[in-house]
Amino acid sequence: MPVMEIRKAGDRVLKEIAAPVEKIDRKIKHLLDNMAETMYSADGVGLAAPQVGVSLRLVVIDVGEGIIELINPEIIACEGSEEGTEGCLSVPGMYGEVERYATVTVEALNRAGKTIRINGSGLLARAFQHEIDHLKGILFIELAKTIHKG
């Protein structure tokens, strides 16, 4: 599976509103495979399709508990708030303190086309919100209270 080029802040695709996936076909499944490969090879915990130049609502996440694939994800419930440090493969070398919901529930389709709901807190909740923001053209540096290097 090929590793894809990760687009960096300033690339127009990162500012676009990603389109919903209409049909989960072989191309979409292949793209999910390549996104996971790209995320792992870059040592990331999440990657959204716009980051590899594809403006579709697709996300992969692995915070150390195995791969999570989300197709057309939406946050359907949220609770609390928590500040934490974030980075992004599209903004290399920069980190920021971002306030996020402490717990979120995400609804999405899996690659079989089945609706799934995942409840996440801590790093997983943060990853859900960070990656879903990518689908809205939002980067964490626009939300961060403070930004620092390395």
N residues, the chain: 150
Q: Could you say whether residue 18 binds Ni ion (CB under 5 A)? A: no
Q: C-beta of 114: minimal distance to Ni ion in Å?
A: 26
Q: Could you say whether residue 132 binds Ni ion (CB under 5 A)? A: no
The phi, psi pair for 114, rounded to 5°, reads -90, 140
- Our answer to whether residue 131 is catalytic in this structure is yes
Q: Convert 24-43 to b/e letters by CB count within 10 Å (16 or more is b).
A: beeebeebbbbbbbbbeeee
Site for Ni ion in 32-61 (CB under 5 A): none
Q: Could you say whether residue 124 binds Ni ion (CB under 5 A)? A: no
| Of 4, 88, 104, 125, the one binding Ni ion by CB under 5 A | 88
Cα–Cα distance between 48 and 34 in angstroms, integer? 11
Q: Could you say whether residue 108 binds Ni ion (CB under 5 A)? A: no
When the beta carbons of 31 and 88 are compared against Ni ion, the nearer one is: 88
Catalytically annotated residue among 5, 79, 107, 131: 131
Cα–Cα distance between 56 and 33 in angstroms, integer? 15
Enzyme catalytic residues: 131
Q: Where on the chain is the footprint of Ni ion (CB under 5 A)?
A: 88
